[in-house]
Structure formats: structure tokens, C-alpha cells
């Protein structure tokens, strides 16, 4: 099964050995996405909603680079550092998935950079 790396234009160099997305047989796997700028600095420090919007916009860029849309996302894995941010993140999340919602799970955990409040990885079926 051949796979294709999906790297949207303007994407910074990842902090570990991975690509933003990997497409195989019409299924797109989007790597865990943190609220990083192109230099891997955390953006919107202390603002979970703004970080969620940044993360979901980044994921949207990967999905669109693979030829899909957010309506093609079928599953999201959400990692939060604090349940206190859950409601604010859900408000933003609903903006990106206004119609039929993808399946998901959400856990609380530590993330690779202490100022990051959210990370999301996604699966989309393209085409």
C-alpha cells in the first residue's frame, strides 16, 4: 500500500521525525497537532480557545492539502492539559464541525511543551 506525505505549504519543520499528514488508500492520518507557529513556538499562551482554533485551522490545512474538507474528518483524538478548558475548546470545536460530528475521544495529559493546552490528531476519509 503506497502512502503519500501531506505537507501543506508554509509548514514549519516538525520537532520530531514525522510529517503533518500521511495519506494511504484514501485515508488521511493527521499527526498530533499542537498550537505551534512555523518556528515551533507555542501561540496564544494561556488561551485554550485560541489554541484550539489554531490547532483546528492547522488540521484543516492538512486535510485540504490532501484534497478533502473538515466534513471528511471521521475521528479526532483530543488531548487537554486541564479539564477546566474543556467547555471553551468545545465551543471552538463545534465551529469546525457544524454538521455531522466525527467520533472522538478526549483525555487529560501532559503535552510536549508546558504552554500548550491542547493537541489534536485526526483521521479523515478523502474522496
pLDDT class of 13 with cuts at 50, 70, 90: confident
What is the domain extent for residue 18? Answer: 3-125
- Mean local confidence (pLDDT), 10-39: 92
More confident call, 112 vs 13: 112
pLDDT class of 14 with cuts at 50, 70, 90: confident
More confident call, 48 vs 1: 48
pTM of the model: 0.95
What one-character DSSP code corresponds to residue 48? Answer: H
CATH number (domain holding residue 67): 3.30.1330.40
Q: What is the pLDDT of residue 126?
A: 95
Q: What percent of the chain has pLDDT over 90?
A: 87
Instruction: Give 25's contacts (C-beta < 8 A, 6+ positions apart).
Output: 1
Q: What total of structural domains would you count in the chain? A: 1
Q: Supply 98's cell numbers.
A: 457544524
Dihedrals φ, ψ of 119, to 5°?
A: -140, 140
Amino acid at each position: 500500500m503506497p502512502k503519500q506525505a501531506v505537507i501543506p505549504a508554509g509548514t514549519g519543520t516538525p520537532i520530531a521525525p514525522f510529517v503533518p499528514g500521511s495519506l494511504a488508500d484514501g485515508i488521511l492520518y493527521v499527526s498530533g497537532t499542537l498550537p505551534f507557529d512555523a518556528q515551533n513556538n507555542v501561540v496564544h499562551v494561556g488561551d485554550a480557545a485560541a489554541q484550539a482554533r489554531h490547532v483546528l485551522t492547522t488540521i484543516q490545512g492538512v486535510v485540504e492539502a490532501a484534497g478533502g474538507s473538515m466534513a471528511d474528518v471521521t475521528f479526532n483524538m483530543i488531548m487537554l492539559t486541564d479539564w477546566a478548558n474543556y467547555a471553551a475548546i468545545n465551543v471552538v470545536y463545534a465551529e469546525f464541525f457544524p454538521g455531522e460530528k466525527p467520533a472522538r475521544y478526549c483525555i487529560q495529559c501532559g503535552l510536549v511543551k508546558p504552554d500548550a493546552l491542547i493537541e489534536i490528531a485526526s483521521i479523515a476519509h478523502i474522496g
